[in-house]
Structure 1
Amino acid sequence: MNRELTVVDVRLTPVLVADPPLLNAQGVHQPYTPRLIVEVVTAGGATGLGETYGDTDYLELARPLAEHLVGRSVTDVNALFGLGLDVDEDRVRGALDAGGLRGVRSADKLRLSVLSAFEVACLDAQGRALGLPVHALLGGRVRDSVEYSAYLFYKWGAHPDGVRGEPDDWGAALDPAGIVAQARLLAERYGFTSFKLKGGVFPPEQEVAAVHALAEAFPGQPLRLDPNGAWSVPTSLKVAAELADVLEYLEDPTLGTPAMAEVAAGSGVPLATNMCVTTFGEIREAFLRDAVQVVLSDHHYWGGLRNTRHLAAICAAFGVGVSMHSNTHLGISLAAMTQVAATVPNLHHACDSHYPWQSEDVLTERIEFRDGRVAVSEQPGLGVELDREELARLHRRWAEDDGRLRERDDAAAMRVAEPGWRTPVMPRW
């Protein structure tokens, strides 16, 4: 073993990052969201970076994994997935994932989400040590930039009175005119040419009107709508019929593979998912039933960048499209997404990214979108550098929190403004 590549230290830093009041089917984003930054340090002085969810369950699982990794080579990535990581199955089973928008959490999903940050950090460290970009470790890039889609949200102008949070200049977006104004601002600032609306917030007819308004404002540009399973099969079919001429795809209109298969069979609109296909074990039923036509991969869900490529190859074999899902994330995750997306030949849809909504980051320089695209870095590793002062500041915010913000809970955040709010029972409409 090359001792220069031996792991001598692993640093775990939970942070709280500002988040605007973005609405979804569960409620509203909290003023701060937890993330976990992973640093893997080698004997040769290379430090690789990774990022994942920062909720307590993820942090508790990351700590023993960090201990297991010390003394191993950063090239021995396969061994990560063979390490015995104990998860309290009874406590995890039935709980919702961070944000509640991936369906029911399982022990395996939790493990993979934690492993993803370590895998990325190991690949970043390898790349830095060898002087190679991560995409070269994955087989090399097939494109020199990756297209991203503007992520539109219904949004309050500010967090509720009495809730501390960071101000933003986006303003409110609660009707079709507000959504179009938000889309224009994202297009002006970042050059996006495709648009995705997070739905499941208002009755379907209001969200249909918003999509039609977008189609009128941006004729011929790809549009998507994602209600996170808030609709019944009949409602999904009705919306699909009304938007058939303007949607690139409809994302998770209803919950579960059987219901998605019904909608797919009764509609000509392609269906995308990051809810009913989030593990390899869920692929068979969904593909054999033709329940989805586009899988939105997420390296956090699937266990890292190599599994993302494996998923893309399976999709190609079945003639299923592939793109990328996004949850609230920082620049380390965006850099990782871009590196792996650059290596996937069958990536034919713009990827999602929350990054424009994040006003804070732990990098020395923010990653730029130009004409709606991110250039694929040729620098060693992920091509990004950690801002240690900013990392320390965001960690202090986490350390000083009384615990209420260390678990992402969009329903709890909504109850601050609407005390009677409960997580909606799906389907909602």
Structure 2
Amino acid sequence: MVTPVAFPDPPLLNSAGVHEPWALRTIVELDCGDGLVGLGETFGDAPHLDRVRRAAAALVGTDPFDLAAVRRAVAGDHTPRADGQDPVARVFAPFEVACLDVQARAAGQPVHALLGGKVRDRVAFCAYLFYKWAAHPGGDPDGFGAALDPDGLVAQARLLVDRHGFGSIKLKGGVFEPAAEVEAIQALRAAFPDHPLRLDPNCAWTTGTSAKVAAATAELLEYLEDPTPGIEGMAEVARAARMPLATNMCVVRTGHLRPAFTQGAVGVVLADHHYWGGLRACADLAAVCRAWGVGVSMHSNSHLGISLAAMAQLGAALPELTYAADTHTPWQDGVDVVTEPLSIVDGAVTVPDTPGLGVTLDRDRLGRLHEQYERCGIRVRDDTAYMRTVDPSFRKLRPRW
């Protein structure tokens, strides 16, 4: 069963624009007909949803233990994406997670046991800060408040750290002039002297601007993420930067690994099972990173509790996970499709040892979020178009500065 859902999303700013009022996801249920049901979660944009539905129809009768057959059934007529990501991997991922959930439930084991076993009991996550408005245009203020300057970001960080105990902090940049974002990092360092800090402008800067920001934040940042577009651009910046450069934008498929690593473009790869092709693909990615001496973290987009559980199971089994993972979980403010969402306490998720992913679908919650999907009218996430309803002159530029 494939169910599209929508849940409230705050007005979070980024280099592409601003998040719309509703985030979209797709929930996958793999029913084996014998009481075993596996869960997966993926993106919710209409073109992707259509591919997932076609894949689901092609999978009827497939053995959930035969992942090679599952991938062949999913492959269908997919064509390469313009951004270099593998469309088969993106569609296969939620089904692979659901199959692993089924396999683990059948074996009476947690998913991490199928990934090689648990190397840690708790998976650390970082506080993910955003510049944001107090409310969506015409809407009521949300519980997070505005954050449009260093003071606002420090207040936001205090809120998230107090609620969840995060031990590291990441700022989504690329919104304001680079000097303003350096000032924000300086304010966060003053307020949180012991927290590792990260800055991610989503390729908003030229190589020259990136090098200047890297110099200005050399003693402040744990890593600088995707400051400029492309492997060659990242390599140029990396030669000047004193901190590692991280990416989830210039390394998004296997073919990017060799050129990125041989050119020294990145020191940290942010794995994301949603577009690398599932949990085992990310474990393979982490092993390659280890061989090259490259660090590993995990990327996040707006997600629900099934994805958080999958990330926790993966993180439990990855010895290469050298940095706290990203998560948008605090921004969903308790909204979910599972009965007991995993909690982030003292900056980490305790990994479930119960069979499968460790979460159970709440059908009432799923129904409500599906009704919201039907009513909200959003079918494709478009941060730029939404920003243009507020600022008609806005354009997505990478790089902008």
TM-score calculated relative to the size of structure 1? 0.91
- Consecutive unaligned residues of structure 2, counting only runs of 5 or more, are none
1:115 CA displacement: 0.9
Distance 1:377 1:216 in 2: 36
Q: Within 5 Å, which residues of 2 pair with 1:251-330?
A: 251-330=225-304
Q: Within 5 Å, which residues of 2 pair with 1:396-411?
A: 396-402=371-377, 405-411=378-384
In structure 2, which of residues 170, 176, 188 is the aligned counterpart of residue 196 of structure 1? 170
Over the residues paired in the alignment, what is the CA RMSD in angstroms?
A: 1.3
Q: Within 5 Å, which residues of 2 pair with 1:56-75?
A: 56-75=46-65
Contact 1:75 1:122 in 2 (8 A): yes
Question: Percent identity, aligned pairs only?
Answer: 57
State the Cα deviation string for residues 202-256 of structure 1 (Å, max 9, x = none): 0000000000001011113200000000000110000000100010000000000
Distance 1:137 1:213 in 2: 43
1:421 CA displacement: 2.2
SS at match of 1:82: helix
Distance 1:188 1:59 in 2: 37
Contact 1:237 1:266 in 2 (8 A): yes
The equivalent of 1:133 in structure 2 is: 110
Contact 1:26 1:411 in 2 (8 A): yes
In structure 1, which of residues 416, 419, 424 is the aligned counterpart of residue 392 of structure 2? 419
Distance 1:368 1:219 in 2: 25
- Consecutive unaligned residues of structure 1, counting only runs of 5 or more, are 1-10, 95-103
Contact 1:293 1:321 in 2 (8 A): yes
1:410 CA displacement: 0.3
In structure 1, which of residues 34, 47, 50 is the aligned counterpart of residue 24 of structure 2? 34
Contact 1:123 1:137 in 2 (8 A): yes
State the Cα deviation string for residues 316-346 of structure 1 (Å, max 9, x = none): 0000001101011101000000101111112
The equivalent of 2:342 in structure 1 is: 367
- Is the counterpart of residue 355 in structure 1 residue 329 in structure 2? yes
The equivalent of 2:351 in structure 1 is: 376
SS at match of 1:350: coil
Contact 1:192 1:372 in 2 (8 A): yes
The equivalent of 2:221 in structure 1 is: 247
Contact 2:63 2:70 in 1 (8 A): no
Q: Within 5 Å, which residues of 2 pair with 1:219-238?
A: 219-238=193-212
Contact 1:331 1:361 in 2 (8 A): yes
Residues 14, 123 of structure 1: CA spacing in aligned structure 2 closer, same or farther, 3 A cutoff?
same
Distance 1:305 1:292 in 2: 22
Distance 2:33 2:207 in 1: 56
Contact 2:24 2:381 in 1 (8 A): yes
In structure 1, which of residues 51, 66, 85 is the aligned counterpart of residue 76 of structure 2? 85
Q: Within 5 Å, which residues of 2 pair with 1:44-193?
A: 44-83=34-73, 84-87=75-78, 89=79, 93-94=81-82, 104=83, 106=84, 109-161=86-138, 168-193=142-167
Moved beyond 4 Å, runs of 4+: none
The equivalent of 1:5 in structure 2 is: none
TM-score calculated relative to the size of structure 2? 0.97
The equivalent of 2:365 in structure 1 is: 390
Of residues 192-201 and 77-86 in structure 1, the stretch that sits farther from structure 2 once superposed is 77-86
Distance 1:242 1:35 in 2: 38
Distance 1:93 1:114 in 2: 12
1:364 CA displacement: 0.9
SS at match of 1:238: helix
The equivalent of 1:216 in structure 2 is: 190
State the Cα deviation string for residues 100-152 of structure 1 (Å, max 9, x = none): xxxx2x4x522211211010011111111221100011111100000000000
1:167 CA displacement: 5.4
Contact 1:33 1:406 in 2 (8 A): no
Contact 2:245 2:267 in 1 (8 A): yes
Distance 1:408 1:303 in 2: 21
Letter in 1 for 2:211: L
Distance 1:93 1:149 in 2: 30
1:401 CA displacement: 3.8
State the Cα deviation string for residues 73-97 of structure 1 (Å, max 9, x = none): 111112222233213x4xx754xxx
